[in-house]
Amino acid sequence: MEKEQVRYEVYGILEEYLGVNKEKIKPENDIMEDLGADSLDSVEIIMAIEENFEIEIEDEIAEAMQSVEETVNSVYDKINNHKKK
């Protein structure tokens, strides 16, 4: 999967769970501070990402996924590493 496709799908998940128009989401946005997610939202977003991309995100990776771009990069890396195994 191309990184742009991952970005598009992650933005869609953020839009669905946070009610933020994906046109207004920027890579540098902090998911909690800028987009208004709380800890429950974060858990739900991670679960939605795992289901959507059919991957498992370890806790330490999830904790590092604070910005939108960090989230996109982590998901993209996880997808590519998962396919190689």
d(C-alpha 74, C-alpha 71), whole Å: 5
Q: What residue has token string 């330490």?
A: 60
- Bridge partners of 67? 30
Residue 34 among the catalytic residues: no
Tell me how crowded residue 15 is: count the other CB atoms within 10 A of its CB.
Answer: 16
Report residue 30: phi and psi, to 5°.
Answer: -80, 130
- Give me the catalytic one of 38, 41, 59, 77: 38
Tell me the catalytic residues. Answer: 38
